[in-house]
Structure 1
Amino acid sequence: MATAQAQIRKGRKFDQVVEGAREVFLRDGFEGASVDDIARAAGVSKATLYSYFPDKRLLFMEVATRQCQEQAQTSIEKIDHSRPPPEVLTCIAQQFLGFIYSEIGQRIFRICVAEADRFPLLGQEFYHSGPMIMRAALVDYLRQAVGRGELVIDDYNLAADQFAELCKADLWPKVVFGIIHSVSEDDKARVIDGAVTTFMARYGVAGSH
């Protein structure tokens, strides 16, 4: 199956276009972002913009995946594999929630859902650029923690996914359904503490809590 990247031509002003698009998408959202505004913010002609991205969704996907890759890389660099599980899990959760509740994180999620039927590659590329990378990093850490006798896990992928879901408890559905529009640091800390405590109760061993 051809990837969306195959439809994108790169060139001298490619980064310029992507940065201009990021600015406009953040300000106006996906539907509200016009090609004229993006070209103006990027300092290029519409013809140049279209030569790189023949579809606005492809441009948004480039912005989204780049943002996710940067976030995933930053998060992975902060993981100290030598530290005990509660400390590392707390750090991972802070990075995770910081992104999914950020303005760009929320826009990316909503647009991926809205465009899922018409443009399924959007969600697929987003998942592979961020969530899948972070999941793999968490699985790698969990294996090392098990090897040190700090955790007991049979299904690493399931355990990693369970932790991610614990981190979304309470707040995530309220944000998605518009019940709340912002999440405080205290709210996030409460959920993270509960997620780590619950995870350790399931997978921890004596002395690792």
Structure 2
Amino acid sequence: MIETTDHPVHEREGSHAGRKVDIVTRAAWDLFLDQGFSATSMDAIAKAAGVSKATLYAYFPSKEALFASLIVAECESLQDDLPVPKLSAGLSEALREFAKQYLTSFIHRKDVAFVRIIANESGRFPVLARLFYESGPEATTRRLSVFLDEAKANKLLDFDDPVEAAKQFLSLVRGELPLRIVLGLSDITEQQIEQEIEAGLKFFLKATQARPEMLSIAEPMSSPR
């Protein structure tokens, strides 16, 4: 079992030990991205960080534990970048903004290379793959499902399960873009991102029977008869 809890030095932000841990994690991050997980040794990380092996192992008991801490930190950073959808912004606009940030965060950050590393090591270290899935994709789905459940409670959407609805929405708006990026088949433009989002959003809203007059704050409410 890989220990995934934070080391106590992380709680002392700005301390000498905390700064050393930051140096270590940055060095490890660069090496993992450049060489991959298997080809990166703790010796190389210690050397790149300018610390002794004893110091490195005092912070992280294994390479797997160090990589796990990077997974958690990266996924938390990604979640911090995602907007919290608000119905007050209008249903379609809130979903559109969430989808745009969701896609651009994945495409423009180093997440693509990070996902490749995790996929390559998932057979040997399934716990790392599970940690990434729970901290990243699953956390994103849970966040969106709360918003969708609120929209359903306000009779704007009609679906059976908010988590499944969130999965379907994310699948629709991302299309094949992440796969193409991971495979390195083509560069993705902002226009392509917007087109994929709009197509997915339109399909999702049609399937979940959103009330047209409530899709955007720019559209007026229907007058009561």
Give the TM-score taking structure 1 as reference length: 0.84
CA root-mean-square deviation: 2.4
Give the deviation of 1:118 after TM superposition.
0.8
Cα distance per residue 1:12-71 (max 9 Å; x no partner): 233332233223334444355454443244332222113333432332221122011111
Q: Give the secondary-structure state (helix, strand or coil) at the position aligned to 2:175.
A: coil
In 2, Cα distance between the equivalents of 1:20 and 1:50?
15
For the Cα contact (< 8 Å) 2:43–2:53, is it kept in 1? yes
Q: Give the secondary-structure state (helix, strand or coil) at the position aligned to 2:88.
A: coil
Q: Is it true that 1:146 corresponds to 2:152 in the alignment?
A: yes
In 2, Cα distance between the equivalents of 1:103 and 1:39?
25
Q: Give the secondary-structure state (helix, strand or coil) at the position aligned to 1:82.
A: helix
Gaps of 5+ in 2: 10-16, 216-225
Residue type of the alignment partner of 1:193: E
In 2, Cα distance between the equivalents of 1:25 and 1:152?
44
User: Match for residue 71 of structure 1?
Assistant: 78
Give the deviation of 1:138 after TM superposition.
0.6
For the Cα contact (< 8 Å) 1:84–1:208, is it kept in 2? yes
**Number of residue pairs matched?**
205
Give the TM-score taking structure 2 as reference length: 0.79
User: Match for residue 112 of structure 1?
Assistant: 118
User: Match for residue 98 of structure 2?
Assistant: 92
Residue type of the alignment partner of 1:200: L
Which of these two proteins has the greater Rg computed from alpha carbons?
2
For the Cα contact (< 8 Å) 2:151–2:157, is it kept in 1? yes
Cα distance per residue 1:113-163 (max 9 Å; x no partner): 111121011111112222222211111101111122221222211110001
In 2, Cα distance between the equivalents of 1:82 and 1:33?
48
Gaps of 5+ in 1: none
User: Match for residue 30 of structure 2?
Assistant: 23
Structure 1 residues 151-160 or 95-104, which shifts more? 95-104
For the Cα contact (< 8 Å) 2:21–2:59, is it kept in 1? yes
Q: 1:26 to 1:113 in 2, by over 3 A?
A: closer
For the Cα contact (< 8 Å) 2:72–2:132, is it kept in 1? yes
In 2, Cα distance between the equivalents of 1:27 and 1:115?
15
In 2, Cα distance between the equivalents of 1:173 and 1:9?
34
Q: 1:19 to 1:10 in 2, by over 3 A?
A: farther
Percent identity between the two aligned chains = 31
Residue type of the alignment partner of 1:188: I
1:60 to 24, 49, 67: 67
Q: Give the secondary-structure state (helix, strand or coil) at the position aligned to 2:124.
A: coil
For the Cα contact (< 8 Å) 1:16–1:42, is it kept in 2? yes
Residue type of the alignment partner of 1:58: A
User: Match for residue 201 of structure 2?
Assistant: 196
For the Cα contact (< 8 Å) 2:173–2:198, is it kept in 1? no
Residue type of the alignment partner of 1:4: E
Q: 1:103 to 1:143 in 2, by over 3 A?
A: closer
Q: Is it true that 1:49 corresponds to 2:83 in the alignment?
A: no
In 1, Cα distance between the equivalents of 2:72 and 2:151?
30
Residue type of the alignment partner of 1:160: A
Residue type of the alignment partner of 1:55: S
